[in-house]
Structure 1
Amino acid sequence: MLRHPILYIDKDESGYNIDPSLTFENPGLKRAYIALQAWKKAMYSDPFNTTGNWVGANVRAYNGILCSLARDDPKLKVVSGVHLNNVDIARYFSIELTLLIDPTTFHINTNRFCGIIPDSFFKL
Structure 2
Amino acid sequence: MSPGKPQLEQAFPSITTAGKNPTVRCILKGSVVSHHVLSWYRQIKGTEIQFLVSHRERSSPTYGDGIAHRFIPELLPLSNAFTLTIGNVEKADEGIYYCTIWFSNKYLFGEGTEIKVQG
TM normalised by structure 1 equals: 0.28
Is the strand fraction higher in 1 or 2?
Answer: 2
TM normalised by structure 2 equals: 0.29
